[in-house]
Structure 1
C-alpha cells in the first residue's frame, strides 16, 4: 500500500485494513471460505508472478536487453573483482560453493546461498507440511484423488516453472533496471511493488490487478493460519471449558 500510493497510505493502515478483510471472510465463512478464496488467490498469484517477470524483461529492453544487461553486470563484477564466488564467478549467476565455514552468512564470500544453504532452506520449507493447517485441510477433503494431481502438476510443474523462470526474471531484472537507472534503492522487500509501480502511467488497471495478486499471497497465508488457530481454540479450549 505504501509504495503503490507513494506514501499516501501508511504501512500500519494497510496492515490493519488487510487484516480486517481477512478476519471478516474467515470468521463469516469458516474453512470452506478459506479453501475457495485460496484457490482463486493461487491463480491470481501465478498470473501475477508471470506478469511481473514479463514487466522486468520489458523495461530491461526486451529479451536482448535483458541478456545484454545481465552480461554487462557479470562482466563488471569479474573485471572489478567484487561480488565474486570463491571460484571467481559473479554471484549473480553462480552458487558460492557447496558450503563455507563462516560465523555468519553475511561473511560468506559471494553470498550466503551456498549449496548446503539452499538444501537446508528447502528442508525448512518442506516442514510447513507438518503445520496443523495442512493436516486440517487434508482430513477435510472428501476424497484423496486430487492430491496426486496437486502434488505432481500444481506443486511441481506449475509452481516449478514459475519459480525457476519468472521469479528469476524479476530478481535479475531488478539488478538490470537499477544499472539502467530505471529503478533506485531496490531490495528484496520493495522490488515487487516498484515493478508494479512502473505501470502506473501506462496501464493503471494492471497496477490494480497486480496489487491484488501481490496481496493474494499474504491473504492466503494469513487466512489459513487464522482459520486453524480459531478452530484449535474453539475445539480445544472453548468447548471444553
Structure 2
C-alpha cells in the first residue's frame, strides 16, 4: 500500500482505471461461465444477444480507435482533404448495412451456426472454406498485434515505466486470452456498452480539447485559412493542399507519371475508403451478426449509430487533433508567421517531424493526454481505457471467432464433442496471441504494424464477391 501511495498521482489514477476496467471484463467472463457452459452458450451466446448489447458492441468495433491513431498523422500531413479518409468510418458502416440483415436471415433459414458453414454449404468448395478460415485468422492476428502494441506502448508511457514494454505485451496478451477463454462469446459481447461509452467519451473530450486550446471554434476556422497562406505544397490546380484535393483526372495523371509531390488525390482517397470496406466484410462481424437475437438492430446500428453519430464524432475528433496540432506548436512555419501559441502542447517541436517520416501512432495524441493530466491527474487513466476499449473489443471478437470457426472445422461441433472443440479453441487462441506477441517483439516496427493492418483489410475485401453471391446475386460467381 505504501508503494502505491508513493507513486505519482497520475500514475495512481492510471492504475485505478486500468484495474477497474479489467476487473469488470473478467467479472463478465466469470459470470458468463457460471451461467452456462454448453455448446450454444459458450460458442454462439445462444444466438440470443440482446438488441441494445449488439448496438453498443458493434458500434464500439466499427469505430475503434485504430482509425483515430492511424489517420491522425495522415490528416496532419494531408490537411482537410485527407479527412475524407476519416469518412471511411461512415462508408464502411453503410457497406455492412447491405449484407448483415441478409446474412442473419440466411443463417436462420438454413440453420447455419457460423459464416464458414454458410460458405461451405453454398459453394461446396473445400479450398474456399480453408481460404475463408485463413482470412479470418490473418485478420484476427493483425488486430491482436495492433492491440498489443497500442495497449503496451500506452501503458509504459502513462505508467512512467512501471513495466518494460515486453512485460506489458505479455500482460495484455494474457488478459485478452483469459477474458476470451473463460467466458466465451457472450462475455466478449457484454463488455460492449462500457467500451462504447469509454470510446465515445474519450473522442469527444479530445475533439473539444483541440478546438478549445486553439482558441475556440471561430479561431480554429480562422487559423485553417491562415495555414493555407503559408502552405508550400499545392494541388495540380495550384490550391493549398491543406484545403483542396486533386480531382480524379489530375490525380490519375500524377499517379501514372509517378509524381508524388502533390497531395492526396481523390483517386487515392476513393481506393483507400473502398479498401477499408473489408472491415465490415470480415468473418468476425458475420459471426457476430449470426449471434444476434433480431435483425431489427442491423440498420439502426450501421446507419444510425456507426455511420451517423459515431462516424461524425470520429471525423470531428481526428480533425480537431490533427489540424489543431498545427496551431499548438507542431508547425514551425505557422508559429513563426503568426506567433507562439498560448498553449504549446508540442514543446518538442524540433523532434516532431511527421513530415520526415515519424510514424509513432501517439505523436499527436501524447501532448493532449499530457496536458490533460497536468490539469486533472485522473485523465491519464481515462484516456488509456478510452483508447484501448474499442481495440480490445475488436481483438477479443476477432480472436475468439477465428478460433471457433477453425475448431469447428477440425472437430464437428456437437454436444458430444463440446469439450474437444473447446480445447482446440483454447489452443488456437493461445497460439495466435503467442505468435502475435513474438512477431511484434522480434520482427515488426510501427510502419509494418500499420501496413499489416491495412493488408488484412485488403485481404478481407476480396471476400466481397462471394458475400454478394451468397446474399444477393448468384450470377457473380459464374462470371
Q: Label 1:102 to 1:9 Cα distance change in 2 as closer, same or farther (>3 A).
A: farther
The 8 Å contact of residues 179 and 187 in structure 2, kept in 1 or not, is answered as yes
Query: 1:97 offset after TM fit, Å?
Result: 3.0
Aligned mate of 1:91, from 241, 244, 252 = 241
Aligned mate of 2:401, from 213, 228, 240 = 228
Aligned mate of 1:127, from 252, 256, 278 = 278
CA distance in 2, matches of 1:194, 1:125: 28
State the SS of the aligned residue for 2:378: helix
Q: Label 1:239 to 1:49 Cα distance change in 2 as closer, same or farther (>3 A).
A: same
The 8 Å contact of residues 41 and 220 in structure 1, kept in 2 or not, is answered as yes
Question: How many residues are matched?
Answer: 236
Q: 1 or 2, which has the higher helix percentage?
A: 2
Is 1:209 aligned to residue 382 of structure 2?
yes
Is 1:175 aligned to residue 345 of structure 2?
no
Report which stretch shifted further, 213-222 or 8-17: 8-17
Report which stretch shifted further, 125-134 or 15-24: 15-24
CA distances 1:71-93 after superposition (whole Å, capped 9, x unpaired) = 3221111xxxx122222222222
CA distance in 1, matches of 2:223, 2:300: 39
Is 1:48 aligned to residue 202 of structure 2?
yes
CA distance in 2, matches of 1:203, 1:43: 20
The 8 Å contact of residues 203 and 313 in structure 2, kept in 1 or not, is answered as yes
Q: Label 1:222 to 1:204 Cα distance change in 2 as closer, same or farther (>3 A).
A: same
CA distances 1:9-48 after superposition (whole Å, capped 9, x unpaired) = 4443333322222212111111111111233212221221
Gaps of 5+ in 2: 1-153, 332-340, 414-419, 421-479
Aligned mate of 1:108, from 260, 263, 277 = 260
CA distance in 2, matches of 1:55, 1:13: 32
Match of 1:67 in 2: 221
Is 1:32 aligned to residue 183 of structure 2?
no
Q: Label 1:201 to 1:132 Cα distance change in 2 as closer, same or farther (>3 A).
A: same
CA distance in 2, matches of 1:12, 1:106: 40
CA distances 1:186-233 after superposition (whole Å, capped 9, x unpaired) = 646111233212212101212211111001132122111111122123
CA distance in 2, matches of 1:192, 1:216: 16
Report which stretch shifted further, 159-168 or 138-147: 159-168
Query: 1:8 offset after TM fit, Å?
Result: 5.3
Gaps of 5+ in 1: none
Q: Label 1:114 to 1:31 Cα distance change in 2 as closer, same or farther (>3 A).
A: same
State the SS of the aligned residue for 2:375: coil
Report which stretch shifted further, 61-70 or 2-11: 2-11
Q: Label 1:215 to 1:228 Cα distance change in 2 as closer, same or farther (>3 A).
A: same
Q: Label 1:7 to 1:157 Cα distance change in 2 as closer, same or farther (>3 A).
A: same
Provide the TM-score with structure 1 as the length reference: 0.86
Provide the TM-score with structure 2 as the length reference: 0.45
Aligned-residue CA RMSD in angstroms?
2.6
